Amino acid sequence: MSQSEIVVEAIDVQKKYGDQTVLKGIDFVARRGEVTCILGASGGGKSTFLRCINHLETIDGGELFVDGHLVGYRESNGKLYELKERETADRRSRIGMVFQQFNLFSHMSIQDNLVQPQVLVKKRSAAEAKERAQVLLERVGLADKGRAYPRELSGGQQQRAAIARTLAVDPQLILFDEPTSALDPELVSEVLDVMRDLAASGMTMIVVTHEIGFAREVADQIAFFDGGKLLESAPPQQFLTSPSTDRARNFLRRVLS
Amino acid sequence: MTGSRTVPVASKRRTPTEVVKLKRWGRVIGGAAAAALVVVIIMMFATSRNVDWPVVFDYIGNAAILSGVVVTVELTVLAMVLGTVLGTVIAIMRLSQNPVLRWISSTYVWFVRSIPQLVQILFWYNIALFVPTLGLGPWLTPTNAVITPIVAATLGLGLNEAAYMSEVVRAGILSIDKGQREAAASLGYRPAQLMRHIVLPQAMRVIIPPSSNEVIGMLKATSLVSVIGAADLLTRAQSISSSNFKIIELLFVASLWYIVATTVASIGQHYLEKKYSWSSRPMRRSSRPVVEEQV
């Protein structure tokens, strides 16, 4: 596992909002095909870190690499050039993101949600995009929901559709920002099942979650964030049974009790 | 009806047999008085010796009046198209990251809203006094050949409208949830694609009702151009009444056509709102086969 290539690498990443520092020097590595679950209490910087990876937030210090490229910059002749908006868009299309609130485009049918990104971003023909959309909807168990509008679906269905939409532009890496936190409890498992399949297919995933069971079962590594720092990074068995910091122990006691 | 258990009935109380409605006398009297007043006003107009009704009916279908109606509608459309397109650009400038664009946009809105529409129309009509020729190098034209009354009216009304429409569009853009933009950005949409395919279509729902108001306002504001003789409905009506002295009658004729135009616009608004109300649209199962047959 540790031989596979590095997809995300963070070196001393810092992020400030005004005079509040939310990321205080994050060192982090995720490898191709790995599932990383980021755990930790709210306000620990988990989501912020995730959003830095696809440049929805800009970092204020340190270095953050995705696929060997410095996020937000292009290196040429020993100089760093800030990316144009078009280049940022191209880089982002290789990184999928699944949001807590699903964020399906509410003025379009589910099918159009999957088709339009392919046509606009991947320059596919409408016919090709529709065919691929149907394959993906089948994969997440929504083959018959293409014509529905997002608000007509349950939260679990919407989140599965959002995952399918992310897959439609063929990302190398998918970021999940608390994908099940906005769901009714009985709908959580259908989304986790889709994510489990995705992990089994070899997708590189970074998942901010509160689902300890999912992390135990699927993750290759668990990263524990607290107070803007990455306190621990370890395989799930090791982290869940013998965490090395008091903060992690306290956190686990609270969530597992 | 369902179970075998009998439900005990509250037996002590006698059930009333009739419901007596409260007589709302105040309402009846108020309604009658208002209706009487309306009838009196209508009778005043209908039976007035000072209104020559046959003349009103004669001129409703008059060719000059009809061509005035056409000009009024044309002007409304032209000015609204100019106002909406420019207004959208100004709104996007106002919301951009570029401080210069933001400043230009808010200054434009401030400046244009500060000057009466009538003054703006007169300014554009007289622009030749200020810029006598238009064009570059060898391609020069006298300004007056370009700025016809219709062009001056379109510019005066449209540039003014842009300031108001920009505020309507800006409110619409701001109403869109941040998550929609972030989702599109994370899929790799470029900023222009994001605006065109995600933000503006959703903003339409918020933009349509106030902009229909603007259209109706514009239909009537076009009457201002009668000061520069742009051959609109009011200009036509006035030029007829200046020769036959039936002033009230021709104002009635003009009003009637304005009523027709605004009514049509309101009906249009109803259908547009329906079209963009995707959030309350029932599921369409049979309308359009979204999925092509798998080959």
Name residue, tokens 């986790």: A192
Distance from the Cα of A83 to chain B's closest Cα (Å) equals 13
With CA atoms as reference, report the closest residue to A236 among A53, A1, A63: A1
Give the single-character DSSP code of A24. E
Per the CB < 8 A criterion, the answer to whether B235 and B68 are in contact is yes
Per-residue pLDDT, B9: 57
Give contacts of B290 with chain A, Cβ < 8 Å: 109, 111-112, 130, 146-147
What's the distance, CA B294 to chain centroid?
45
Q: How far apart are alpha carbons B185 and A239 in whole angstroms?
A: 34
Per-residue pLDDT, A3: 66
Per-residue pLDDT, B273: 86
Strands (E) across B14-173 are located at 133-136, 139-142
Q: Model confidence over A31-44: pLDDT tens digits?
A: 999 999 999 988 88
Per-residue pLDDT, B284: 45
With CA atoms as reference, report the closest residue to A102 among A22, A176, A34, A49: A176
Per-residue pLDDT, B39: 95
Per-residue pLDDT, B179: 94
Per-residue pLDDT, B28: 92
Closest to A121 (Cβ–Cβ): which among B177, B187, B191? B187
- Domain span(s) for CATH 3.40.50.300 in chain A: 1-94+173-183+203-257
Q: Model confidence over B12-30: pLDDT tens digits?
A: 667 778 888 888 889 999 9
Please name the residue of chain A whose CA is at the shortest distance from the CA of residue B187: A93
Q: How many CB atoms lie within 10 A of CB B74?
A: 16
| Low-confidence winner among B164-178, B247-261, B280-294 (lowest mean pLDDT) | B280-294
Q: Calculate the alpha carbon distances from A21 to A14, A248, B70, B157 in Å.
A: 7, 21, 64, 51
Query: φ, ψ for residue A6 (rounded to 5)?
Result: -80, 130
Q: How many CB atoms lie within 10 A of CB B190?
A: 21
pLDDT band at B287 (very low <50, low <70, confident <90, very high): very low
Q: What residues form DSSP beta bridges with A175?
A: A97, A206
Q: How far apart are alpha carbons B130 and B37 in whole angstroms?
A: 54
CB contact under 8 A, B186 and A121: no
Burial of residue B32 (CB within 10 Å: 0-12, 13-18, 19+) is exposed
pLDDT band at B1 (very low <50, low <70, confident <90, very high): very low
Name the percent of chain B lying above pLDDT 70: 89
CB contact under 8 A, B183 and A99: yes
Q: Which fold has domain A1-94+173-183+203-257?
A: Rossmann fold (3.40.50)
Per the CB < 8 A criterion, the answer to whether B157 and B79 are in contact is yes
Q: How far apart are alpha carbons B110 and B127 in whole angstroms?
A: 21
Per-residue pLDDT, B288: 42
Q: Model confidence over A96-140: pLDDT tens digits?
A: 999 999 999 999 999 999 999 999 999 999 999 999 999 999 999
Give contacts of A117 with chain B, Cβ < 8 Å: 184, 187-189
Q: Model confidence over B73-128: pLDDT tens digits?
A: 999 999 999 999 999 999 999 999 899 999 999 999 999 999 999 999 999 999 88
Per-residue pLDDT, B5: 58
**For testing the chain B interface, which of A100, A107, A121 should be mutated: the one with the most B CBs within 10 Å?**
A107
Give contacts of A50 with chain B, Cβ < 8 Å: none
Residue A247 has pLDDT above 50, yes or no: yes
User: B168-187 burial by CB neighbour count: b if 16+ within 10 A, else e?
Assistant: bbbebbeebeeebbbbbbbb
**For testing the chain A interface, which of B96, B186, B204, B276 should be mutated: the one with the most A CBs within 10 Å?**
B186
Per-residue pLDDT, B4: 53
Query: φ, ψ for residue B25 (rounded to 5)?
Result: -65, -35
Q: Model confidence over A147-185: pLDDT tens digits?
A: 999 999 999 999 999 999 999 999 999 999 999 999 999
CATH 1.10.3720.10 fits B75-228+265-276, yes or no: yes
Per-residue pLDDT, B272: 87
Per-residue pLDDT, B50: 81
| Low-confidence winner among B41-45, B74-78, B161-165 (lowest mean pLDDT) | B41-45
Per-residue pLDDT, A22: 92
Please name the residue of chain A whose CA is at the shortest distance from the CA of residue B183: A103
Distance from the Cα of A254 to chain B's closest Cα (Å) equals 31
Q: Is A86 on the interface with B (CB under 8 A)?
A: yes
Distance from the Cα of A117 to chain B's closest Cα (Å) equals 7
Per-residue pLDDT, B278: 64
CB contact under 8 A, B182 and A147: no
Q: Model confidence over A33-92: pLDDT tens digits?
A: 999 999 998 888 999 999 999 999 999 999 999 998 999 888 888 888 899 988 999 999
Please name the residue of chain B whose CA is at the shortest distance from the CA of residue A97: B186
Per-residue pLDDT, B290: 42
Give contacts of A92 with chain B, Cβ < 8 Å: 185-188
CB contact under 8 A, A127 and B185: no
Give contacts of B173 with chain A, Cβ < 8 Å: none
Strands (E) across chain B are located at 133-136, 139-142
Q: For residue B56, give every residue at least 6 positions away whose Cβ sits within 8 Å of its Cβ, in sequence order, or none.
A: B249, B252, B253, B256
pLDDT band at B279 (very low <50, low <70, confident <90, very high): low
Q: What residues form DSSP beta bridges with A66?
A: A8, A69
With CA atoms as reference, report the closest residue to B172 among B139, B201, B151: B201
